[in-house]
Amino acid sequence: MKTDVFIAGGGVGGLMLAAKLASRGVHVVIAEQMNRKSPAYKGELLQPKTIAILDRIGVGEQVEACGHPIDQLRFQEVHRRKGRPPEEISLTELDYGRVASVYDHALMVPHEKTKDILRNKGKSFEQYFHYLPGARFLGFENGVAVVKQKRERISIQADVYVGAEGRSSPTRDAMNVHMERKEYNHHFLTVTIPRPERFTKGKIITTSNGFLGLFPLPDKEIRTVYLIEAGSYKQIKKQGLERFYEAYSELAPELKDGVRAIRDWRDIQLMIPYTYHVDRYYAGNLVLIGDAAHTVHPMAGEGMNLAVQDADVLGELLAWCKEEGKSYHEYLHYYEEVRKPRVSFLLTLSHMSALVYSFRYEWWRKLRCRAVERMYEDDKLHVKQMLNISGLGKWDFTLTDRAVQGNMLPARKRRVKDTEQYRRLFSKAEDYPWIKNEKGRIR
């Protein structure tokens, strides 16, 4: 079998890339080892930049129609008292609407739904989109990809081979890249439960030693994420579901009925956060996207978004090469130059957010409360935080920002103007810097 681009892995990154390439007349073969929907939780929060990308390939409305909009993130700090309702100490609300963009909210969409939409988009270009379900990519033999589907071994020859296999990637192995894995002192338990209708905002509830993230989904459901000490899962399981229900109810009494919908520990998924980032995104004609190249701490809800954003830049580059008759290999460096620094930046941001919730000391909690409140009181911090996590742009935090956040300097009273933000939103020229006009300037 011959194709322009071979993609190993039909997750959200691989499907986004394949749909984009097929829509631009690039022949693509995509091999996905599973032939049914994945039962595993894999993230549902689509950040504004991802929504913008989905819009550009013509599925924005479809995604909006099956998502729950999140226009605000609430951070609630409480005192927990057994048998009594939690007492609120502070509440901070951060708004996506502070970002100067029409993409002013995030969306909670079931992961498999996003994949279905992308797969169907790809299939609408049937001449170019070749999806192989139940096909496991084994590796390369004589520079050609080898895939096993049922009992058949298929050789696929392509101009470019993309590793989109997620955390365990044969393409990455073949590239011999370097990466270091970082672990955390906590794990998460995650489960979807029914939610009361009026519970519509994304919310993180914390105490000095507890953390519960609540993100509403459509169909009156809510994704919950409960932080536990690393290695304590077995012990918690031994205590039984009744103790688990209690833990939820103490932090979020409004979910006390919903949490009882969990009937079995098998409904609850253990999530072990760790991070890595490869030192190279491409080698020869092999390229990595998404979790094959990097994985982030889930605290900032970025993993899936980074995969889609990688796919967008790489897809635009490969499509442009085909349209302009350029050699793919000469231009792959642009993909790494655009994506690697942005991913590094978000890895750091997610890591910092994780640290904020990693220590169970009262003094740490006080610092956290102050730092989170400052994000709201100081408009510049608010704008920077939301702009950065939205993926729509990048605005570095300065030492002054951190001093304000750490309460060493007073909060600034001035509201950030939209015009100040425009310079920080990624322009088309920054997203796709290889596209130049007739005068050789970036368009």
Ligand X SMILES: Cc1cc2nc3c(=O)[nH]c(=O)nc-3n(C[C@H](O)[C@H](O)[C@H](O)COP(=O)(O)OP(=O)(O)OC[C@H]3O[C@@H](n4cnc5c(N)ncnc54)[C@H](O)[C@@H]3O)c2cc1C
Q: Is 34 in the site for ligand X (CB under 6 A)?
A: yes
**Residue for token digits 């620094």?**
341
Closest CA to 308 of 117, 99, 65: 117
Compute the least distance from the CB of residue 371 to ligand X, in Å. Answer: 22
Parallel, antiparallel, or unpaired: how do β-strands 274-277 and 182-183 relate? antiparallel
Among 6, 13, 117, 349, binds ligand X (CB under 6 A): 13
Q: Is 303 in the site for ligand X (CB under 6 A)?
A: yes
Give residues 135-164 in contact with ligand X (rule: CB under 6 A): 136-137, 164
Q: Is 287 in the site for ligand X (CB under 6 A)?
A: no
Q: Which of these segments, 32-40, 278-286, 394-402, 422-430, binds ligand X (CB under 6 A)?
A: 32-40
Map residue 146 onto helix, strand or coil: strand
Residue 283 vs residues 160, 193, 245, 334: alpha-carbon distances, Å: 10, 44, 50, 13
Q: Is 166 in the site for ligand X (CB under 6 A)?
A: yes
- Bridge-partner residues for 221, per DSSP? 194, 217
Q: Is 213 in the site for ligand X (CB under 6 A)?
A: no
Q: Which of these segments, 101-109, 301-309, 366-374, 408-416, binds ligand X (CB under 6 A)?
A: 301-309
Give the pair of three-digit tokens for residue 190: 């995650």
For ligand X (CB under 6 A), the number of binding residues is: 32
Q: Is 343 in the site for ligand X (CB under 6 A)?
A: no
Compute the least distance from the CB of residue 10 to ligand X, in Å. Answer: 5
Parallel, antiparallel, or unpaired: how do β-strands 68-70 and 186-194 relate? unpaired
Residue 230's φ and ψ, nearest 5 degrees, are -55, 135
Q: Which of these segments, 38-46, 82-90, 235-243, 366-374, binds ligand X (CB under 6 A)?
A: 38-46
Residue 213 vs residues 85, 224, 318, 347: alpha-carbon distances, Å: 18, 6, 38, 20
Nearer to ligand X, 148 or 260 (CB): 148
What does the per-residue mask of binding to ligand X show for 168-197, with x meaning CB under 6 A? Answer: --x---------------------------
Rounded-to-integer distance, Cα 75 and Cα 373, Å: 9
Helix runs in 211-302, H state only: 233-239, 241-251
Q: Is 214 in the site for ligand X (CB under 6 A)?
A: no
432-442 as b/e, with b when 16 or more CB fall inside 10 Å? bbbeeeeeeee
Q: Which of these segments, 75-83, 202-210, 303-311, 322-330, binds ligand X (CB under 6 A)?
A: 303-311
Residue numbers at the binding site for ligand X (CB under 6 A): 8-14, 31-34, 41-43, 45, 136-137, 164-166, 170, 271, 290-292, 298, 301-305, 307
